[in-house]
Chains A and B, each alone.
Chain A
Amino acid sequence: MNAHAAIFPILIPLIAALLQLAGRHLGLSIQRGIGLSAALLGILSAAWLLQLADGGSILVYALGDWAAPVGIVLVADRLAAGMTLLTALLAGASLLYASGGFDKRGRHFHPLFQLQIMGIQGAFLTGDLFNLFVFFEVMLLASYTLLAHGGGLARSRASLSYVVLNLAGSALFLIALGLLYGTLGTLNLADVALRLQTAEHDIALARLAGALLIAVFALKAALLPLSFWLPHTYAAAGAPVAALFVIMTKVGIVAILRVQAIAFAPSPTMADLLTGWLTPMALMTVLFAALGALVATRLRYFAAWLVLASAGTLLITPAHAQADITAAALYYLVQSTFIGAAFFLLAELIAERRGEVADTIQSGPSFQSPWLAMGFFIAAITAAGLPPFSGFLGKLMLLASLRETAAGAAIWIVLLTAGFLIIVALSRTGSRLFWQHKPQTQPLATPSTPWQSVLAVLLLIAAGPLLAIFARPVADYAARAATQLHAPGAYINGVLGTSGHAIVREARP
């Protein structure tokens, strides 16, 4: 049974989506029941996978029992298993929130949500680059439809540009894969890594393929020249959908980390592919996002700029390819995902209580909701990177690990300046939303928030304090995952077997 652990995080949402499609006439409560049980099973299977992967060996699952490099494999190392659990937890909270009534606003919300989870989990687990493309497309197609869920003018407009941009990105991805296959004759990541270590290929073409691949991942991760789509797309999406989308930028970041650590870093011709340009671009992204947060006029846009800021912060790290920096980045990634998602949900709950001004950042009617104010306060402290919550620890670990690097001083200056700008923006937002009131002529009806939504928001916000209290086990796991990621020999041997080196290579004209 343990041998099949890696397939369950993909299989469970797929089966749930099929069941929900088959039973779509049975009513919303059945759909919710199936969805939430699948989310729970997903969390359990991901936790099981994480426990197995933490044994230190690379779990390889050959689909159809065709061995790599000919067959397609799923590979669960510590990084993949950890990301699987993070996705399952985030998806569970978002689905819980959506079960409070958001899923009524359009059709087929539940099957699409499950398919989106399946795509994300597959993208984290796959060990084959073409399979990664397929899972990206599963993830994107579900996200196109989820983005439009609920309808409205803003969503139609955002959908159109988001779909066009990602179709262009997919075309670029396929060109990169074609170049890679034409040059190296393989698309299995471990095999690509092995062949890049020898010098029997066209180096210029392989570098071009690698650069195109990174460009596609950078589009998903929203690196600066490719990040203009993110704020209005995420702000247009419904709250639980935007919360799930937070993990999608992380898919791009983890893909860059993995390709860099496993395929590029050990190769003599590709090792310097990210050097010199990725870190400056990432720093520009952080500054851009901090300035964006400062001028945001709506809380949803503000949350989207915060997601972009954390993506930029994480993108500083892959170019260094050092285990301690990656470990700090992974801890930062986990906490920023939960808090980013929490902000989108908070934005909707606050908007519901403020009548016509909704989530615009200006003084509005007063509303009595101490738990919401407290939740916003905790989330804001975590997002700003102030002590005592996990945002502070994440930023501290990242800054401490980056201190010794060549661009250390620049990174410190930019991150601290951006952090200051975000603190200013957060305090301005918080005081306008909660303290500046306009007298109202008629009292506002207080909406009754369903318990599912309240619970989901509280769980996500609780991640801030909890990840600070349990920082040691999480950071230790991140350190083990990073060490394993930066020792690609074990990954390559695990996937190809020790006999992998003996595969006869044809000469390609």
Chain B
Amino acid sequence: MEAIVATAIGILTTCGIFLMLRARTFPVVLGLTLLSYAVNLFLFASGRLMLDAPPLIRAGARYTDPLPQALVLTAIVIGFGMTAYLLMVALRAMAETGDDHVDGREKS
């Protein structure tokens, strides 16, 4: 399971960084979204991966670390809000410059 999660995080990060380096705003937004997915998975895995274990401490029972779940929840909410705001900024920049190039203009 560790290998699958690690591979997934790696692929998401690679795609995210590749898209972030593109010159148009839409791929950049997509890239940042993918990167934030990768980061959320990574944070989730930082409490170690456990199967069939609730994040509750009961006497004698197995449990998974509840803290990363709380951290991921916070990170997801913040990341979602930021992505929504970024889309607004990108749309406004496109409306004002008439171009969705990240520098606001196409190189001639």
- Chain A's closest residue to B85 (CB) is A144
* Cα A161 to Cα B25 with chains together (Å): 10
Q: Is the CB of A175 within 8 A of B92?
A: no
Interface residue count on the A side (C-beta < 8 Å): 28
Identify which of A164-172, A277-285, A410-418 touches chain B.
Answer: A164-172
Which B59-100 residues have C-beta < 8 A from chain A? 67-68, 71, 74-75, 78-79, 81-83, 85-86, 89-90, 92-93, 96-97
Interface residue count on the B side (C-beta < 8 Å): 35
Q: Which residues of A contact B83 (CB under 8 A)?
A: 167
Decide if A159 is an interface residue (CB 8 Å cutoff). Answer: yes
A-B contact pairs, 25 of them (CB 8 A): A137-B82, A141-B81, A141-B82, A145-B85, A148-B89, A153-B96, A153-B97, A153-B104, A156-B89, A156-B104, A157-B104, A159-B89, A163-B85, A164-B28, A167-B32, A167-B83, A167-B86, A168-B35, A175-B42, A177-B43, A178-B42, A178-B68, A181-B47, A181-B71, A182-B48
Q: Which residues of A contact B74 (CB under 8 A)?
A: 130, 134
In the complex, per-residue mask of A174-193: 1 if CB is within 8 Å of any chain B CB, else 0: 11011101100000000000
In the complex, per-residue mask of A113-150: 1 if CB is within 8 Å of any chain B CB, else 0: 00000000000000000100010010001001100100
Decide if A509 is an interface residue (CB 8 Å cutoff). Answer: yes
* Cα A130 to Cα B67 with chains together (Å): 11
Q: Knowing A156-B96, A163-B89, A168-B35 touch, does A178 contact B43 (C-beta < 8 A)?
A: yes
* Cα A129 to Cα B23 with chains together (Å): 33
Decide if B15 is an interface residue (CB 8 Å cutoff). Answer: no
Listed in ascending order, the chain B residues whose CB lies under 8 Å from chain A are 20, 25, 28, 32, 35-36, 39-40, 42-43, 45-48, 67-68, 71, 74-75, 78-79, 81-83, 85-86, 89-90, 92-93, 96-97, 102-104
Q: Which residues of B contact A163 (CB under 8 A)?
A: 82, 85-86, 89
Q: Which residues of B contact A134 (CB under 8 A)?
A: 74, 78
Q: Is the CB of A156 within 8 A of B67?
A: no
- Chain A's closest residue to B32 (CB) is A167
* Cα A220 to Cα B36 with chains together (Å): 19
Shortest CB–CB separation between residue A370 and chain B, in angstroms?
39
Shortest CB–CB separation between residue A285 and chain B, in angstroms?
24
Q: Which of A137, A156, A161 contacts B97 (CB 8 A)?
A: A156
Q: Which residues of B contact A156 (CB under 8 A)?
A: 89, 92-93, 96-97, 104
Decide if A508 is an interface residue (CB 8 Å cutoff). Answer: yes
Decide if A11 is an interface residue (CB 8 Å cutoff). Answer: no
Q: Is the CB of B43 within 8 A of A164?
A: no
Q: Knowing A161-B102, A178-B43, A181-B46 touch, does A171 contact B81 (C-beta < 8 A)?
A: no
Decide if A19 is an interface residue (CB 8 Å cutoff). Answer: no
Q: Which residues of A contact B89 (CB under 8 A)?
A: 144, 148, 156, 159-160, 163
Shortest CB–CB separation between residue A172 and chain B, in angstroms?
9
* Cα A156 to Cα B47 with chains together (Å): 40
Shortest CB–CB separation between residue B48 and chain A, in angstroms?
6
Q: Which residues of B contact A170 (CB under 8 A)?
A: 78-79, 82
Q: Is the CB of A179 within 8 A of B102?
A: no
Q: Which residues of B contact A179 (CB under 8 A)?
A: 46
Q: Which residues of B contact A171 (CB under 8 A)?
A: 32, 35-36, 39
Q: Is the CB of B39 within 8 A of A137?
A: no
Q: Which residues of A contact B68 (CB under 8 A)?
A: 178, 181
- Chain A CB within 10 Å, residue with most, of B32, B46, B92: B46
* Cα A192 to Cα B82 with chains together (Å): 29
* Cα A130 to Cα B75 with chains together (Å): 10
Shortest CB–CB separation between residue B61 and chain A, in angstroms?
15
Q: Which residues of B contact A153 (CB under 8 A)?
A: 96-97, 104
- Chain A's closest residue to B44 (CB) is A178
Q: Is the CB of A137 within 8 A of B78?
A: yes
Q: Which residues of A contact B48 (CB under 8 A)?
A: 182, 508-509
Q: Is the CB of B67 within 8 A of A181?
A: yes
Shortest CB–CB separation between residue B54 and chain A, in angstroms?
17
Q: Which residues of A contact B28 (CB under 8 A)?
A: 164
* Cα A164 to Cα B23 with chains together (Å): 12
* Cα A180 to Cα B49 with chains together (Å): 16
Shortest CB–CB separation between residue B79 and chain A, in angstroms?
8
Q: Which residues of B contact A144 (CB under 8 A)?
A: 85, 89
* Cα A163 to Cα B82 with chains together (Å): 9
Q: Is the CB of A160 within 8 A of B93?
A: yes
Shortest CB–CB separation between residue A139 and chain B, in angstroms?
12
Q: Which residues of B contact A157 (CB under 8 A)?
A: 93, 97, 103-104
Q: Which residues of A contact B96 (CB under 8 A)?
A: 153, 156
List 19 other contacts, CB 8 Å, given A141-B82, A156-B104, A174-B40.
A141-B81, A141-B85, A153-B96, A153-B97, A157-B104, A160-B102, A160-B104, A164-B86, A164-B102, A167-B86, A168-B32, A171-B35, A171-B39, A178-B45, A178-B46, A182-B46, A182-B47, A182-B48, A509-B48
